[in-house]
Amino acid sequence: MSQPVIEIEQLAFAWKQGPQVLEVPVFRVDAGERVFLRGPSGSGKSTLLGLIAGVLAPQSGTIRVLGEDMRALSPSKRDRLRADHVGVIFQMFNLVPYLSVTGNVLLPLRFSPARRKAAGGDAEREARRLLARLGLADEGLLARRVSDLSVGQQQRVAAARALIGAPRLIIADEPTSALDADARDRFIALLSEEVTRTGASLLFVSHDASLAPLFTRAVDLAAINKAMVAAGGSA
Amino acid sequence: MTALFSLAWASLLNRKGSVVLTIVAVALSVALFLGVEKARSGAREGFGNTISGTDLIIGAPTGSVNLLLYSVFRMGSATAEVSWPTYEKIASRPDIAWTVPVALGDSHRGYRVMGTTLGYFDHYKYGGGQALTFAGGQPFSDLFDAVIGAEVARELGYTVGTPVVLNHGLGAADLGSGHENRPFRVTGILRPTGTPVDRTVHVSLEAITAIHVGWETGAKNPLADTIPEEMIRSFDLTPKTVTAIFAGLERKGTILTTRRAINTNRGEPLMAIIPGEALAELWNVTSIAERALLAVSAFVIAVGLVSILTSILSSLNERRREMSILRATGARPHHIFVLLVLEAGLVGFLGAVVGIALVHGLIAVLAPILQAQYGVAFSMGAPGLVDLAVLGAVTGASLLIGAVPALAAMRRSLADGLSVRL
């Protein structure tokens, strides 16, 4: 089974009246793949992730996420697709400060009945199970304010949140850039393990090329983005 | 919706400090408004309760409000009086059950003195039929006895037995122009009523005549003080005139015909008013000021609501990250909108609840004191329709006002997408 989760053809995007920032002839991620997308800052990776997550719409070309043509979908349909099937992990400050650790993990279930259903009847237990798998089983830790957790712990909570309700695509935008090498490798290992277990695809973006061997496939955004090549690749 | 409600609640709890301040601002504005409203309805009630049980007030022709003012509220003065024979004629009318004549014009240290008959203590009713009761002592029986209202007793520190010197006219004590040669003695003190009775010194009609022996020309005859008390007591002290007459009818049904008969009295011209009507007329005059006060306090509520707007708007910048996290985890723009509107509505609702509780708490504590000290009756009891209406209006207005920051946050979250740079 190699139904593509992300399928991009001749995709072009420019901010209003700005130059083309993204021009991708072809890019795809298959189901179950763990893809490492290397992109230095300014290479248009945030724009690409915005397009895949459905918060931005391309001017031309095709982008399919889980078989849905994102250009044909209304903004609210794209929002729903993201809510139901995409988990997102940011670089830093991933957590809502006024929610508990489990409250943060359960957040996507508030907006997606589909993921609520997928998480099973006892969502709280599912959240704790995920947290435990990511090495956050300590009750005292779970009771703490999220802002009191270490950055590594926060990122693992964010990973649990992205994973809950079994979304089919996990997008991680530089999730390890604030971690030391040790914590970084552990984080990627845990994330990969969980993604493999649920069968989700992982699109992992980082500027750090040394991470590439930890994934099934590595792609250099600078190489596939013609807009950057045209602009001299500088950023 | 419930999901967003608990989010809104958690978000407010997270910003306790500023949220509590905003709630306090709203609560104080609501409390002020309701306080004014309660005082207003209390005043209106108290006002309407000033006199009851009296069917007609009769005096010399003047404005009906004027007659009410000087006969009941002891304000202003009569331009003309009613002669004693005319009073007797009215008192003997078959359709009139009882009459209480009153004579006004003198004062005691700023408090009006009213000459009347013992019938006054039986027939004058206030607060929907309550009779006057004595806190101490008894009605006047001797010529130089006086019964004082609660405020007179409290302010001047009088007790039963205290001597009282009256002044001629309404000015302050002025040697030589007073009735210091005819001192009175306090025989009774009335309980507080919240009416002008509290500020009145009551004496008998005959006493008014007695202290004016020697004043026939309108000014004091130098020889007046030489007339011994025994001689005065032997005089016929039936007054020549009275200022106004309170009257009760045999049958209420005849009130309009009786009033017309008195108004068209042959001989001395007279005027009869129905207290309720005149009170309503007077209330219309005073209610302008009271409505202005209410309007001002309504504006204070508006200020309270604006403080909700300010506090949410000023928090938006630091919550930008939070909004994009919510968007990334699946919140649609309308979720962001509803979340912020709910926050505003919750703050407004809580503010109104606290404000209402504050007012009712204060009334519960203060009402018994005010009742005992001043006879002012506050409408006590459970929160009523007015409170509910205010609660609803403030909550509704906060929800509406919340739309402003909600729209801003929604637009911004759309523009920010998933990538807020820090």
Nearest CA in chain B to A173: B419
The arithmetic mean of pLDDT across residues B394-416, rounded, is 87
Q: What angle do CA B55, B59, B63 make, to 5 degrees?
A: 95
Does the distance separating the beta carbons of A99 and B10 come in below 8 Å?
A: yes
**Candidate from B13, B14, B330 with C-beta closest to A82:** B330
Q: Is A73 on the interface with B (CB under 8 A)?
A: no
Do B255 and B274 contact (CB within 8 A), yes or no? yes
For the record, the structure tokens of A107 come out as 């957040």
Window 289-348 of B, Cβ < 8 Å to A: 321-322, 325-333, 335
Tens-digit pLDDT profile for residues A177-201: 878 888 888 888 888 988 888 889 9
> Count of residues for chain B?
422
Option in B11, B417, B422 nearest A93 (CB)? B422
Q: Strands A4-14 and A169-173, how do they pair?
A: unpaired
The answer to whether the CB atoms of B328 and A46 lie below 8 A apart is no
Establish if A223 touches chain B: CB-CB under 8 angstroms. no
Q: Is the dihedral of CA A182, A188, A194, A197 positive or negative?
A: negative
For residue B322, list chain A residues with Cβ-Cβ distance below 8 A.
96-97
Rounded distance, CA A31 to CA A51, Å?
19
pLDDT digits (tens, 9 = 90+) for B48-104: 778 888 899 999 998 888 899 888 888 888 888 899 999 999 999 999 999 999 998
Q: What confidence tens digit (pLDDT) does each residue in B96-154 have? A: 999 999 998 888 888 899 999 999 999 998 877 888 999 988 999 888 899 999 989 99
The string of pLDDT tens digits covering residues B153-173 is: 998 899 998 888 887 766 554
Instruction: Say whether A220 sits in a helix, a strand or coil.
Output: strand
Among A55, A80, A161, beta carbon nearest to B417: A55
Structure tokens at B188: 């009774």
pLDDT at A230 (0 to 100): 53
* Cα B179 from Cα B167, distance rounded (Å): 6
CB contact under 8 A, A84 and B4: no
Dist CA B270 CA B59 (whole Å): 6
Rounded distance between C-alpha atoms, residue A79 and residue B368, angstroms? 61
C-alpha closest to that of A157 among A141, A168, A180: A141
Chain B residue numbers with beta carbons less than 8 Å from the beta carbon of A99 are: 7, 10
Q: Tokens at residue A47, please?
A: 């724009």
Residues in contact with B343: Cβ distance below 8 Å, sequence separation at least 6, in sequence order: B8, B11, B12, B312, B402
B346: which chain A residues are within 8 Å (Cβ-Cβ)?
none
How many H-runs (helices) and E-runs (strands) does chain B carry?
13, 14
With contact defined as beta carbons under 8 Å apart, do A70 and A54 qualify?
yes
List the single residue in A80, A88, A110 with the smallest CB-CB distance to B418: A88
CA distance B44 to A154: 63
B282 contact partners, CB below 8 Å, separation of at least 6: B47, B65, B68, B69
- Name the minimum distance, in Å, from the CA of A94 to any CA of chain B: 7
Pairing of strands A86-89, A169-173: parallel
CB pairs under 8 A between A and B: 75
Given an 8 Å threshold on Cβ–Cβ distance, is B335 in contact with A111? yes
